[in-house]
Amino acid sequence: MAEITMLEGIRQALFEEMDRDPAVVALGEDIGVFGGAFKVTEGLLARFGPERVIDTPISETAIVGAACGMSYLGLRPVAEMQFIDFIACCFNQVTNFLAKSHYRWGAPVPLVLRGPSGGSVHGGPFHSANPEMYFVHTPGLKVVYPSTAYDAKGLLKSAIRDNNPVLFFEHKFLYRRIKEEIPSGDYTVPIGKAVIRRQGNDLTIISYAAAAHTSLEAAEQLGREGIDAEVMDLRTLLPLDRESILASLKKTNKLLIVHEDTRTGGIAGEIAAIVCEGAFEDLDGPILRVTALDTPVPYSPPLEHRFLPNAEKIVAAARALAKY
């Protein structure tokens, strides 16, 4: 067992799944010869050859359209968006073809669409996006957004083996910053299951991706102030783990939701509605959110810092909630 980064976890999942199942193929811009913009696919071409590791033209529509066709014919493609921001270019392919094929034509789409996402890297408005909610709003898709090396590897394997189209978001700030020991050999992490990262009694903080780490940092600080926060990492946004959300809320009775996605239309609103519908009489305070601001991701580092949620903002909201 060695310590590996989240990026390495993703790479291992690709290698192991392509080894395990000859139907798995990879395609995307510069994923072959160059090894990918972030080197996630480094070595893949040398190992599996150009028929299974395909460098594509710069056209997201073509990438997803081709992958969709491959999946109709029995392959299990893993397509990469060089930056997830560009998924907007193939919105039609994703929402009308990937999401609806099975429903309309009985044609399952066992496909994974993955790509580096999120901010904190001064990437500016076109290289920092968190577009997950467009797709959480699209029935027929699954949306996964892990925060650890273990989960990234296990969830990617589950995604590749899933018979539904799975959008797999990889937070690029976490790629090389998160390290952990993971078990050798094959394992998977189930899609649709949240995990409690920290047990607590006073309030629940629900989060995912990089914001889950920020939430944990805030929870440690809150712990020193005598506020005992539980931190839940959603890991999968669609389907959402309602059971775990309601169970934690029923334990702590107070809820704070933190996400790096912008505020309006973020998953926090959906979770708040689930809680109001399913556990209104367990609420001992308002459901609060700490999120990014409703603007594009600023390029300027101080503006980006202001834009993103951070531990300080989370602690302030949690304090108010604990006191309520």
- The C-alpha atoms of residue 140 and residue 99 are separated, in whole angstroms, by 4
Cβ neighbours, 10 Å, residue 133: 20
Which of 74, 106, 185, 281 binds another protein (CB under 8 A)? It is 281
Q: Which is nearer to another protein, 156 or 255 (CB)?
A: 255
Span of 27-35, 175-183, 280-288, 293-301 interacting with another protein by CB under 8 A: 280-288
Beta-bridged to residue 224, according to DSSP, are none
Among the listed residues 127, 171, 213, 259, the single catalytic one is 127
**Interhelix angle for 210-224 vs 311-323, to 10°?**
50
Q: Which is nearer to another protein, 164 or 253 (CB)?
A: 253
Which of 65, 124, 285, 296 binds another protein (CB under 8 A)? It is 285
Token duo for residue 130? 């968190």
Q: Which is nearer to another protein, 186 or 225 (CB)?
A: 225
Nearest distance from C-beta of residue 283 to another protein, angstroms:
5
Q: Which amino acid is at 164?
A: N
Span of 81-89, 207-215, 224-232, 277-285 interacting with another protein by CB under 8 A: 277-285
Q: Which is nearer to another protein, 224 or 323 (CB)?
A: 323
- The C-alpha atoms of residue 156 and residue 189 are separated, in whole angstroms, by 8
Which of 124, 282, 296, 299 binds another protein (CB under 8 A)? It is 282
- Asked if 127 is an active-site residue, the reply is yes
- The C-alpha atoms of residue 53 and residue 31 are separated, in whole angstroms, by 8
Owner of token pair 């839940």: 232
Span of 77-85, 108-116, 227-235, 279-287 interacting with another protein by CB under 8 A: 279-287
Q: Are strands 236-238 and 142-144 parallel, antiparallel or unpaired?
A: antiparallel
253 contributes a contact to another protein by CB under 8 A:
yes
Nearest to 114 by CA among 19, 27, 237, 226: 27
Chain residues in the site for another protein (CB under 8 A): 253, 280-285, 320, 323-324
Catalytic residues: 127
